[in-house]
Structure 1
Amino acid sequence: MLTRSRIRGKSFTRACSQGSHTPVDVAAIRWNIGLLLPHHQALPLTDDELAALTAFLRTHTQLLITHVEQAAAKRPPEDVPRYIALACTRQAHDRLSAPPAPDRHSLLVHARRLARALAALCDHHDALTDVAMSGVAGGAQAGVQGDPAGRPTAPTGPSGQPPTARCVLRPGCP
């Protein structure tokens, strides 16, 4: 069974006290997302573990929204990855502001929605900061690569799709 000590990463209080200059530990965030996603492989969680993990997801979503918005601000206004990343931050704000119903199933669904939104923010953070991306469960590395003619191609996420595709093109996106 999962214990509170297995949730990796800084507490939000420490992260907020350092402001937006706090470095983002994407590896720890993705590890914690892996506790909930994919849902058919997720570990069973007690009520306390679910509450602790949800608090982690909420606070790191708030932190990563700030980082993604700052990275997007450095891009030109007509930059498509910038535009899509900002759309993802708005969707993440919506996930944070949506209160879950008090029953356990609704709390779990809410935590999974936050996890998907946070995973998308991690992808956008990596894309905007030119970091090689990896899957939630530590999948294959992907990044900006060139074609045989030496022209750069778009970065890809864990699914082989551009990391921004899940935020705009799929209905029900986080």
Structure 2
Amino acid sequence: MDVEMMRESTSRLIGPRTASLEGEKLAWLTGQMRGHMQLLIPEIERAAGKLPEDDVPRYCALACIGEARAKLRATAGAGPHRAAAHARKLARSLMALCDHYEALTGVAMCLVCDKPIRDGEDSVPYGQVSSSRGAACAGRIHAQCSRTGRRRCR
């Protein structure tokens, strides 16, 4: 699974680089989100199926799959605004599926650049406490990302 590419495709619909999309381009991106989700769902089910039935990550992943399937069954409604909103819902659902896939398969993601930390790449531990309500995130970041000064939690 090329989860990194799937995440990149969602950035056209959600995130800081989001553009106003309509017509054929929006229809194409919506189809791309659907296709990615349809590829990823069975992989997550397989990975979750290897875990005990009372395992919390398994339960959460399967719940996310249920939500994703509901979004896949839903229709966009009339008008470009509703079509764009539907596409963004699919993109957010795809991002959640990517998170579950990575968690269940042991892929480590850099908390700064949101790209995978591959075997052999230099990485460092990272922990941050947010100024809002004391939320925290911890994980790893690429060694090169530690020098950029950008810090964020997913």
- Give the deviation of 1:159 after TM superposition: 3.0
Contact persistence 2:76–2:83 (CA under 8 A): yes
2: CA distance between counterparts of 1:64 and 1:118?
A: 9
- Letter paired with 2:86: H
Q: Structure 1 residues 155 and 84, CA, compared in 2 at 3 Å: closer, same or farther? A: farther
Percent identity for Structure 1 against Structure 2: 41
Runs of 5+ consecutive residues of structure 1 not aligned to the other structure = 1-23, 148-153, 161-174
Q: Give the SS at the match of 2:77.
A: coil
Contact persistence 1:65–1:121 (CA under 8 A): yes
Matches within 5 A, 1:160-171: none
Runs of 5+ consecutive residues of structure 2 not aligned to the other structure = 118-124, 128-136, 140-151
Matches within 5 A, 1:68-147: 68-134=44-110, 138-139=113-114
Q: Give the SS at the match of 2:45.
A: helix
User: RMSD of the alignment, in Å?
Assistant: 3.0
Q: Give the SS at the match of 1:99.
A: coil
- Give the deviation of 1:134 after TM superposition: 4.5
Q: Which moved more, 1:46-55 or 1:84-93?
A: 46-55
- Give the deviation of 1:63 after TM superposition: 1.1
Q: Which residue of 2 aligns with 1:29?
A: 6
Q: TM-score, normalised by structure 1?
A: 0.64
1:159 has 2:153 as partner = yes
Q: Give the SS at the match of 1:159.
A: coil
Q: Which residue of 2 aligns with 1:60?
A: 36
Contact persistence 2:22–2:84 (CA under 8 A): no
Q: TM-score, normalised by structure 2?
A: 0.72
The structure whose Rg is larger is 2
- Give the deviation of 1:45 after TM superposition: 2.4
- Letter paired with 1:54: T
- Letter paired with 2:67: Q
CA deviation profile, 1:56-90 (whole Å, cap 9, x unmatched):
00111111111111110011111110000000000
Q: Structure 1 residues 31 and 118, CA, compared in 2 at 3 Å: closer, same or farther? A: same
- Give the deviation of 1:48 after TM superposition: 1.0
